[in-house]
Amino acid sequence: QVQLVESGGGLVQPGGSLRLSCAASGIFVSIYAMGWYRQAPGKQRELVAHISSGSNRNYADSVKGRFTISRDNAKNTVYLQMNSLKPEDTAVYYCNAQVTSTGYWGQGTQVTVSS
């Protein structure tokens, strides 16, 4: 059974930083493509960052240079380091694992950027 558990969200001021974590069980994050998505109120869920099994990284244009996706194979955890946060980054952030043709999702963690 695949489980993804996100943590690390919260309230932060503009310009601040947060690090999100996605702890996986039932799969090894080292061998599957993993991604972070977000969904703001009234908007569709969008891809924020993606890391392939070969460690190629891709980012949404809106977060390039500010966000970094990484993984710790020993902890079986994927991270999203978010710097220089903006109010428009406010959303629920979800972790995703693509296991062959099946996508698994975590429950999400709220990130609110506000002064």
Angle at alpha carbon of residue 95, lines to 83 and 40, rounded to 5°: 65
pLDDT at 95: 98
pLDDT digits (tens, 9 = 90+) for 42-64: 999 999 999 998 889 999 999 99
Cα separation, 40 vs 1, in Å, equals 28
pLDDT digits (tens, 9 = 90+) for 11-34: 999 999 999 999 999 999 999 999
